[in-house]
Amino acid sequence: MNITISENKRYFKKNNKNFFYFADTCWSAFTNIDLDSWEYYLQYRRRQGFNVLQINILPQWDASETHFNYQPFEKDNDGFYDYFHIKQEYFQHARKMCERAKEFGFELALVVLWCNYVPDTWANKLMKSKTMPFDAIENYIKKVHETFSTFNPFYIISGDTDLENQSSINHYRKASHLLRHLAPDCLQSYHIRGRMVELPEEIIDEIDFYMYQTGHSAKESDKEMCYQMPKYFLTNYPVKPLINSEPCYESIGYAGNMYGRFHQFDIRRAAWQSLLAGASAGITYGAGGVYSWHEYGKHFSPCIGEGFDMPHPWQIALHYPGAWDYSDIKHIFCEYKITDLNPRQDILLNETKEIRIAEYQNRYFIYVPENTTIKLKIDINDIESITILDLETRRKEIGNKYKKDGICCLEMHTFGHDVLYIVELKNI
């Protein structure tokens, strides 16, 4: 059965059951992975609870070098793609990979046109020779539909794109309209450039859910994007499921050639701050080395305009510990039957935006990245119980509340790093 959207338009459903979009990022799967490695990857990610795979249909522009030669189009005399001549074996190979993924229970989120293939995007301006002609879109989309629509995928019309020029918007909308006609039951969205929130009105009207990405910048001014961006979507656009589709990847180098990498705590903080800010339809994990499918001895081409450092090979990156932290998120959502979280920063009295608080039914969920006393603008007598979950060790502690100067306070926890407070309220 197809994935559908809930009546309140905040989350997904599958077979009439709540569906938390829990994706792994494997952009370069169709070009870089042999079937034996694909089997191992699917087996491991399934065990971790992932239920969606994000894949680029066309070759990823910053995929690692590979000894395979999977090409979607014939090449012209200059060595560039001839988009009017599709190579059938490429799509046959991709279909076989999708069939196996579906057998393991994964849903597919397939990017139709990454930004480098579309005119007048920020990436295409650096790679003019790779532009797909407007007249080639229809034939390509027919092949996409023929190959993938039987799997009822999420169609992600764009990849990492800006939408500042009408020519690029026209490309995307043509692809979107064709797929909407051919596969009307497949949900659509756009994967937009990091820290971008502005969407053209015509695109807002046509998509089924929102994807934003906080991305891989380590600048201080960008750290708050995890909670500022969902606030913008919830405030300015019609209600639709909202997902941070690309928080910082684990162990990826900082963007812009900055020295340093994002680690387990960084990606965990990005996820929880996004979710409690209202982007609660799901979350996407990414590992540097997996999305580009890097191997020892192969060249890694830094993303043009981003400048990421060299990744570990996929065999190491696949086992980064942060993927298990994201798996815990899915388990928590299932345990408490969370469908949508409503931000409640209005009741937090601490003078920081880093602590995030949201409400669902009769509970407050509070993410605390660094230990401190939590001060709340609520009646202390309304609290039934407090459970504190150490997000690093997965241990649980019974929390304590007290009143000081008329303010409801939650006592500091005893753990070493970030935690989630789960505050049960009385049935009043």
Instruction: Supply the CATH number for residue 66's domain.
Output: 3.20.20.80
Are residues 408 and 278 both part of a single domain?
no
pLDDT, position 236 = 98
Alpha carbon distance 87, 91 (integer Å): 7
Assess whether pLDDT exceeds 60 at residue 83: yes
CATH assignment at residue 357 = 2.60.40.1180
Of the residues 335, 353, 375, the one at which a domain ends: 335
pLDDT, position 128 = 67
Alpha carbon distance 242, 152 (integer Å): 20
pLDDT, position 428 = 59
Assess whether pLDDT exceeds 70 at residue 211: yes
Question: What's the whole-number mean pLDDT along residues 154-166?
Answer: 97
Are residues 244 and 393 both part of a single domain?
no
Assess whether pLDDT exceeds 70 at residue 302: no
Question: What's the whole-number mean pLDDT along residues 281-285?
Answer: 98
pLDDT, position 141 = 98
Are residues 76 and 203 both part of a single domain?
yes
Does residue 246 contact residue 214 with C-beta atoms inside 8 Å? yes
Task: Enumerate residues 6+ apart whose C-beta is below 8 A from 409.
Answer: 373, 374, 375, 376, 401, 402, 403
Alpha carbon distance 176, 206 (integer Å): 8
Residue 293: alpha-carbon gap to chain centroid: 18
Are residues 144 and 201 both part of a single domain?
yes
Residue 335: alpha-carbon gap to chain centroid: 22
pLDDT, position 427 = 86
Are residues 306 and 372 both part of a single domain?
no
Assess whether pLDDT exceeds 70 at residue 52: yes
Are residues 379 and 296 both part of a single domain?
no
Are residues 352 and 223 both part of a single domain?
no
Domain hosting residue 356, numbered range:
344-425
Q: What is the DSSP letter of 108?
A: E
Quickly tell me which residue has 């680029």 as its tokens: 56
Assess whether pLDDT exceeds 90 at residue 235: yes
pLDDT, position 127 = 81
Pairing of strands 107-114, 52-56: parallel
Beta bridge partners of 192: 161
Are residues 274 and 204 both part of a single domain?
yes
Assess whether pLDDT exceeds 60 at residue 240: yes
In this prediction, residue 156 has a pLDDT band, given cuts at 50, 70 and 90, of very high
pLDDT, position 130 = 82
Question: What's the whole-number mean pLDDT along residues 67-95?
Answer: 96
Are residues 330 and 349 both part of a single domain?
no
User: 3-class DSSP state for residue 266?
Assistant: helix
* Number of domains observed in the structure of the chain: 2
**Least confident stretch, 2-16, 213-227, 305-319:** 305-319
Amino acid at 71: Q
Q: What is the pLDDT of residues 272-281, one digit of tens each?
A: 999 999 999 9
Of the residues 307, 335, 363, the one at which a domain ends: 335
Are residues 208 and 307 both part of a single domain?
yes
Of the residues 335, 358, 384, the one at which a domain ends: 335
Beta bridge partners of 25: 54
In this prediction, residue 2 has a pLDDT band, given cuts at 50, 70 and 90, of confident
Are residues 144 and 60 both part of a single domain?
yes
Question: What's the whole-number mean pLDDT along residues 26-36?
Answer: 97
Task: Enumerate residues 6+ apart whose C-beta is below 8 A from 352.
Answer: none
Write down the pTM of the prediction: 0.97
Alpha carbon distance 84, 126 (integer Å): 22
Greater model confidence, 221 or 109: 109
Assess whether pLDDT exceeds 70 at residue 55: yes
pLDDT, position 143 = 98
Question: What's the whole-number mean pLDDT along residues 56-79?
Answer: 95
Are residues 349 and 326 both part of a single domain?
no
